[in-house]
Each structure stands twice: as C-alpha cells, then as structure tokens.
Amino acid sequence: MTAPSIGSIVIVGGGSAGWMTAAALSSLIDERSAMTITLVESEAIGSVGVGEATIPDILAFNQMLGIDEAEFMRATEATFKLGIEFIDWARPGDRYIHPFGQHGVDMEGVDFHHYWLRLRADGVETPIETYSLSALAARAGRFTAPHPDPRSILSHLRYAYHFDAALYARYLRRYAEARGVTRVEGIVTQVDRTASGEGIAAVVMASGERITGDIFFDCTGFRALLIGETLDVAYTDWSAWLPCDSALAMPSAPVGPPLPYTRSTAQPAGWQWRIPTQRRTGNGHIYSRHFMDDDTAEAVLRAGVDGAPLAEPRQIRFTAGHRRRFWSGNCVAIGLSAGFLEPLESTSLYFIQEGISRFISLFPTKDMPDILRTEYNRHMNVEFEQVRDFIVLHYAATERDDTPFWRYCRTMDLPDTLRHKIELFRETGRVFRYNDELFARPSWVAVLLGQRIMPRRYDPVIATLPVGDVAHSLRSMAHAMADAVQRLPTHADYLAHYCAAGR
C-alpha cells in the first residue's frame, strides 16, 4: 500500500534559497501530476545576497535544470572562478591559491603532493601552485573551458562562477514560473501550526489570504520564520570555533579586467572578500564584534576597496552554526534559515543546492515517515560539520599573533575531527576523505600547505626513487602546464566572446 502523494508544496521566502528550491522542485510538475508549488515572497523584504562566489558543484545544479551556461552567465553578469586566493592568513605577506582541481598527477597510486614533498626534502622548494593548471591560469588572468578529452592537459581545469546573487534569483524565478510554479506577493503575518503542533498547517498573508500546504520550505533567511520562530527548533552555535559574527557588504566599480578567482585577505579581526562580476566588484568585510567595533570595521572595508563605491555598506549579523533539525514535521529549512557558515570557501549556495537535492532524493509521501526526516537530518548535519572543519582550518592554522583576534584563533580548542586531520597530515602527509565530504584531498592539501602546515615525512613508497627521476617528472608537468596556460585567451577576452552581459 502506498500513502497519498504530496499534493501541495509551499516555499516561504524568495532570494537564492527560495528560487533555487522552486526551480529544482518544478521538475516534479508535469501534466500527469496534480501537485502544486507556491512561492510566497515580498518585494519589501530584501535578501542577504552574499553568495556571489560559488564552487564547481553549482555547474551540476544548473545542468540538472537544463540551463544554457552562456545565457545564464549573461543574465547574471557572471565571470569564471578558478579558485580562491588567500592573502596574509598564515603570516602577513603570505599568498596562496586554493585552486579547483588537483595539483599535478598522482603516480603509481601515490598522491602527487608526496612527490612534491620528496623534492622539497632534497632542497627543491618550488611552490606547489606551479603544478596546478587552475592556479597558474588564475594568476595569469586566463581562462578556457575544460577540454572534454581526458588525455588533454586542459581537461584538468575546473571552475565555478562569480555572479550577482539577486540576478540569479531573478533568472531562476523566470525559469520556475515558466514550469508551473505560482508566485504570491505579500508579507506573511501569521503561521498556523498543525493540530498536533509538530508541523505547519498554513501561512496567512497580510491580505488575509490563507495558504495551506502538505510540506513547507522555510527560505526566510536568518529570521527562520517557520523552523525557528514557529516550530522552535533550536540552533547549534559554533561561534567558539568561528568567532566572526558580522559582515559589511558593498559593491564597487570594477578596476581593470575581472580576475578569474576570488580574493580573501585576512584583516585584524576577520577577513575581506573581493568578487569580480562583469559589471561590478563585490566587496565585504567579515569580522568579530568581540574584537572590532562596527565603525572600525567599515573603515577597514573602505580602505580595501579598489574602485569607487556603488552603494553604502550593508550590515549583516549572524551566528555561525545550524539548526539541530533541518527537517522538522512537514517543514524543511533551506539556506540561511537552516544554518550559516561564513562564505570563506563560497559554500552558501552549495548548502542550498545540497539541501534541495537531498530532499528530492528522499521525496516523501504525505504521511512523511520519520525515517526520511532522520536520514535527511543526519546527512545535512554531517555536511555542515565537515565544511565547518575545513573553514575552521583557515583560522586555526595560523602563525599570526599580531592582534587579539588572531591570538584567539591560533590557540582555540578544535573539533576532534579537525584536530585528527591536522595531526595526520603534519605527521604523515596523508589526507583521507570521509563519507563523500565536499572538500576532497586536493583542497585540504592546498589549504594545509598554504597555511604552513608542513608534513614531517612523505610516503615511504617513494623514498627509494632517485630524486633526479622525480625532479624530471615534475619539471615536465610544470613545463607542460605553463606552456598550456600561455596559449589560453585572457579571461576578459573569453567572457567577451562567450557571454558578455547585455549582448
């Protein structure tokens, strides 16, 4: 026996979270289905919109929707992103890139970075970025699409996007509405719980309209109107590990051609981002109010902006962490209502994407068996914890002691899972991926080495290899990559021919 199917879905809140949810769920609407999807939002309520930089997983989401890349990039004024540059994180003056894709090529079943460590032990201290096609192209300001032939060196390129998050939401709204999603304009003034009190029965609009549904998605941002205010699902606070709790965001006019990477510069009590889109540069300063006041934070932001400001700074307050349950009763929290880990590694839109994808993979019948909620919550909890560890790594693995903020970060207690990964790498150079976690070995290696955590030894399997043979292999790789990058078009030229905004 099969329980009745879900008949109505209500999404409360727009922005990237709401319209990504609506667009993905619209695939469930067809002529044979009686299911309806309604999105409720108000033009009077703005969105946070800090998620302008992405990671490569966004490509899979757009491809799932059947979105044409060039069209999407024109509509969202997007540029390409090959990685993130970190400045002044381990020590003032340090710079490294966390590139998308891997360093070098693994050989004989041994991870590439062990060969690099082998050479370093013999006094050859070539930066590991020398062996990353994405990092080299980023530094050179060049870009091309990855080659489909795996035998081509250009097949190693991986990329994501920088785009205007508000334009992305607008683009997905058109997509979703064209596929049967109904949008209701207005402000929700009341939320009615089910008779049992465990779920949501309806939302009531200022107009008096009452909108009922079988399942509700809370996309109301930090307010968490449904999951937090109504269902009172508690919040897990991670501010002891991620002490930043405020951000100031401000767009500026571009200065020069857009670079194909995000820039993150450490500041006295946090860090500052720089995200180039086709027509503007997104800037922001994330900081801890325990270590810096708002006026000083604004001064730091303005001092780090290259072009003329296009608007006044916008203040955002947050607490790093997540809901203890992401799916409670018939309510699923997506986006900021589910949790927030600062955008240091551009994961905000990824959590939206993962929350939607996991729900669709567990799509319930109307009776919503508890085991589905349990599995969803287990998965999302693990996702947040694993990304948390990767972000905390940037703060904890620092040698800076020049401000109270950095002294706190370098001495704070760490999650056991992160401490284990750091110690394993420091002692043996090994990194293992657990439970298909988002950031794979190459990402961990890039940040661990970039933050000056240097392994004490390399894989003993290659200890007997003649250092000359290892050096020759790595020189060949570096030469091939450098040569390939020099033949690439500039990022600006590629954009102009492929997806110039307004064309």
**DSSP letters of 273-303?**
EEEE-SS-EEEEEEE-TTT--HHHHHHHHHH
User: How far apart are the C-alpha atoms of 37 and 24, rounded to whole Å?
Assistant: 11
pTM of the model: 0.95
Is-contact 29 7, C-beta < 8 A? no
Coil, helix or strand for 8? Answer: strand
Measured at the alpha carbon of residue 287, what is the angle toward residues 284 and 289, in degrees to the nearest 5?
135
Which contacts of 431-435 are long-range, i.e. CB under 8 A and separated by 24 or more positions? 431/111, 434/386, 435/382, 435/386
Residue 168: how many other CB atoms lie within 10 Å:
27
Is-contact 282 336, C-beta < 8 A? no
Active-site positions read 81
| 492: CB partners within 8 A, 6+ apart | 141, 257, 258
Is-contact 202 190, C-beta < 8 A? no
Is-contact 76 173, C-beta < 8 A? no
User: How far apart are the C-alpha atoms of 351 and 343, rounded to whole Å?
Assistant: 11
According to DSSP, the residues that pair with 250 across neighbouring strands are: 283
User: How far apart are the C-alpha atoms of 390 and 242, rounded to whole Å?
Assistant: 11
User: How far apart are the C-alpha atoms of 254 and 276, rounded to whole Å?
Assistant: 7
Q: Which residue has the tokens 């033949």?
A: 487
Torsions phi, psi for 415 (to 5 deg): -55, 140
Q: What is the DSSP string of 337-352?
A: GTEE--GGGS-HHHHH
User: How far apart are the C-alpha atoms of 183 and 179, rounded to whole Å?
Assistant: 12
Q: Which residue has the tokens 């903020």?
A: 405
pLDDT in tens for each of the 503 residues of the chain?
567 889 999 999 999 999 999 999 998 887 667 899 999 999 877 655 544 899 999 999 999 999 999 999 999 999 999 999 999 999 999 999 999 999 999 988 899 999 999 999 999 889 999 999 999 999 999 999 999 999 999 999 999 999 999 999 999 999 999 999 999 999 999 999 999 989 999 999 999 999 999 999 999 999 999 999 999 999 999 999 999 999 999 999 999 999 999 999 999 999 999 999 999 999 999 999 999 999 999 999 999 999 999 999 999 999 999 999 999 999 999 999 999 999 999 999 999 999 999 999 999 999 999 999 999 999 999 999 999 999 999 999 999 999 999 999 999 999 999 999 999 999 999 999 887 889 999 999 999 999 999 999 999 999 888 999 999 999 999 999 999 999 999 999 999 999 988 76
